[in-house]
Amino acid sequence: MTTQPRKAWIITGPTSGIGHRTALELVAHGTLVLVGRSPAKLKEVEAEINARPEGHAVSVVCDFSDLADVQRAAEEITALGLPIAGLLNNAGIMPIGTDRTAQGWDLAFTTNHLGPFAFTQALIPHLPDGANVVFTCSAVEDPERKPAVMAGFRGARYLSAEDSLHGRWQPGGSTRPGLDAYATSKQANLAAVLAFARETPRLRFNAVEPGFSPGTGLSRDANAVLKLLATYVFGPLAPLMPGGSTPKRAARMITRVLTEEADSTGVYHDEKGNSMLGSTQVRDTAFQDRVVAETRALLTRLAQDAPHSGSEA
């Protein structure tokens, strides 16, 4: 009698916050492929998982702000030959100001959207029918989301993929440009999920809004006082707020969505796992298709220009 190989799950951003909690939840469901930018932190989480009786994890280093590194990581994962059952695109950052990559590109848009988009496209041909691809999104992309507006967001400010690459946003946004970059990148994530679900029916593409959960490490450049407040003041209060959650609750919800065997695709899940709607703009299929087409064209051009990318600004 032959035994079926354990299912494998790819999770990006597994070294802190919701990603770390989700990795620990996924241990019971099979082998984990941990994908992140810090080799040391990845090894720590890998060791933590492998120390468990049922745990089995491998690490793949990848900086999602480096598109060449993204392609290499996807090829490395494919070469592992594992029976991939699902992919969770969870890695992301939320800068307060305007941060740039070495090429001068907007760091948040590149890390949160371009990198995961390219990563997913590279893996799609190697995913078996029925595999579930989940993106961690955010309701801050919706300008009508009152809690997000109170926090300083003004919704996504998408002009084009090219404009987003260079940190140019629709006027009238937040006083903190990093929030516009984050909201726009998350809208692009959601648009991609909804378009992919229509394009590739053999796979399942879904999105999750993990809920307001302070202290997750998403905002890496917050000062020490804000980090302490987020962890010890706002964090415990978050579950009592509308749309609030905790990393542990979010991880359980995300794990359910990622591992469920239902045929649902193109669904946006709220912090409780229920279906929710994105902004009016992102629900427009023409807008979804435009974001995906522009992203693909931009990635193609950047790949062609790669030897000269140091001159991009």
Average pLDDT over the chain, rounded to whole? 90
Whether the predicted pLDDT of 217 surpasses 80? no
Give the largest Cα separation in the chain, rounded.
64
Residue type, 87: L
Q: Is 33 helix (H, G, I), strand (E, B) or coil?
A: strand
Whether the predicted pLDDT of 235 surpasses 60? no
In angstroms, the CA 253 to CA 270 distance is 9
Is 114 part of a structural domain of the chain?
A: yes
User: Residue 241: its pLDDT value, please?
Assistant: 52
Which helix (H) or strand (E) segment holds residue 133: the answer is strand 132-136
DSSP symbol at 152: T
- pLDDT-based confidence at residue 240 (cuts at 50, 70, 90): very low
User: Residue 15: its pLDDT value, please?
Assistant: 97
User: Does residue 143 or residue 237 have the better pLDDT?
Assistant: 143
Strands 84-89, 57-61: pairing is unpaired
- Looking up residue 26, the CATH number of its domain turns out to be 3.40.50.720
Q: What is the pTM of this model?
A: 0.89
- pLDDT-based confidence at residue 224 (cuts at 50, 70, 90): very low
Number of Cα atoms under 13 Å in the Cβ half of residue 206: 31
In angstroms, the CA 159 to CA 45 distance is 38
User: Residue 308: its pLDDT value, please?
Assistant: 52
pLDDT tens for residues 265-308?
A: 999 999 999 999 999 999 999 999 999 999 999 999 999 998 65
Is 313 part of a structural domain of the chain?
A: no
Task: Please give the tally of structural domains in the chain.
Answer: 1
Is 3 part of a structural domain of the chain?
A: no
Candidates 26, 204, 36; CA nearest to 124 is: 204
The token duo for 148 is 């997000």
State how far the alpha carbon of 78 is from the alpha carbons of 10, 23, 204, in Å. 11, 20, 19
In angstroms, the CA 99 to CA 219 distance is 12
Is 2 part of a structural domain of the chain?
A: no
Is 312 part of a structural domain of the chain?
A: no
In angstroms, the CA 191 to CA 34 distance is 25
**Mean pLDDT computed over 194-204:** 98
Residue 294 φ/ψ, nearest 5 degrees = -65, -35
User: Residue 147: its pLDDT value, please?
Assistant: 87
pLDDT tens for residues 26-68?
A: 999 999 999 999 999 999 999 999 999 999 999 999 999 999 9
User: Does residue 311 or residue 88 have the better pLDDT?
Assistant: 88
User: Does residue 178 or residue 226 have the better pLDDT?
Assistant: 178
User: Residue 215: its pLDDT value, please?
Assistant: 52
User: Residue 271: its pLDDT value, please?
Assistant: 95
User: Residue 244: its pLDDT value, please?
Assistant: 63
User: Residue 212: its pLDDT value, please?
Assistant: 75
In angstroms, the CA 268 to CA 136 distance is 10
Whether the predicted pLDDT of 309 surpasses 50? no
In angstroms, the CA 311 to CA 5 distance is 47
Domain of residue 242 covers 8-307
Candidates 235, 217, 180, 254; CA nearest to 36 is: 217
Is 1 part of a structural domain of the chain?
A: no
Other C-beta atoms lying within 10 Å of the C-beta of residue 210: 28
